[in-house]
């Protein structure tokens, strides 16, 4: 779970994936978040759909002005990053707005998971300034962390991997790297043959996904320790 400390991998990373369930939607889906048995789906039209534990769908549970780039849950809050505007909204689990602020990443971040919540702090890509920006849950700036994001890249994703580290993907160049925010060093880098869009990590593996007209939809599984 995001925000929890990851343990050292005790076995080899998985080499295959198995489909468990599909939940159809009639809008372009950008991000999905599962929290306390409820699934929140961020869509291209700025809507967030809510699917409860019984499968009941509440369409447009939250409606925002731009496409939803990332949804993350922390305690009783939903933290939402909007594309193009680079705005961050905080909502209650009941769908009431709690806070709002501008992230102002002028480079834009149009695809990928670009926001993580770790120990009550919000980490957001800021590719315009080649850094990760950290806020508290009320939107107050905590610090900036220099990070080797390509300047002006519109496609960069990150996922928390425990012990002050994040997994970051970029499209130009097409790569995935493990970054230590405490020492601001890159622990490993893997150059990818295809363009990545999103990344997620567990205690055992890193999952990188992407798509393209000529490349199809794909998922790469990497070792968390060495890429």
Q: What pLDDT is stored for residue 29 in this prediction?
A: 75
Cα 33–chain centre separation: 10
> In the prediction, which pLDDT does 4 show?
40
Provide the pLDDT for residue 110. 53
Q: Are 90 and 77 in contact (CB under 8 A)?
A: yes
pLDDT of res. 1: 34
Cβ neighbours, 10 Å, residue 69: 28
By C-alpha distance, which of 134, 179, 125 is closest to 153? 125
Q: For the chain, what percentages of helix, strand and coil (3-state, to nearest 5) are there?
A: 0, 50, 50
What's the confidence (pLDDT) of residue 67?
Answer: 85
Q: Which residue in 38, 32, 111 sits closest to 72, CA to CA? A: 32
Residues (pLDDT < 50) of the chain are 1-10
Query: What is residue 5's predicted lDDT score, i.e. its pLDDT?
Result: 41
Whole-number Å distance between alpha carbons of 169 and 201: 12
């Amino acid at each position: 779970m995001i925000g929890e400390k990851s343990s050292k991998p005790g076995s080899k990373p998985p080499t295959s994936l198995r489909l468990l369930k599909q939940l159809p939607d009639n809008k372009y889906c950008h991000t999905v978040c599962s929290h306390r048995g409820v699934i929140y789906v961020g869509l291209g039209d700025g809507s967030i759909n809510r699917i409860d534990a019984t499968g009941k769908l509440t369409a447009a549970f939250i409606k925002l002005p731009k496409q939803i780039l990332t949804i993350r849950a922390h305690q009783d809050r939903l933290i939402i990053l909007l594309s193009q505007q680079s705005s961050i909204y905080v909502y209650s689990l009941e769908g009431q707005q709690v806070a709002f602020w501008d992230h102002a990443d002028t480079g834009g971040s149009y695809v990928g998971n670009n926001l993580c919540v770790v120990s009550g702090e919000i980490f957001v890509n800021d590719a315009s300034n080649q850094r990760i920006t950290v806020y508290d849950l009320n939107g107050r700036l905590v610090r900036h962390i220099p990070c080797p994001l390509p300047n002006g890249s519109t496609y960069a994703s990150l996922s928390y991997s425990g012990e002050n580290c994040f997994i970051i993907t970029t499209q130009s160049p097409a790569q995935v790297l493990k970054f230590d925010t405490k020492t601001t060093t890159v622990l490993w880098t893997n150059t990818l043959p295809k363009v990545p869009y999103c990344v997620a990590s567990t205690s055992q593996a890193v999952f990188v996904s992407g798509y393209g007209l000529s490349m199809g939809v794909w998922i790469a599984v990497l070792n968390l320790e060495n890429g």
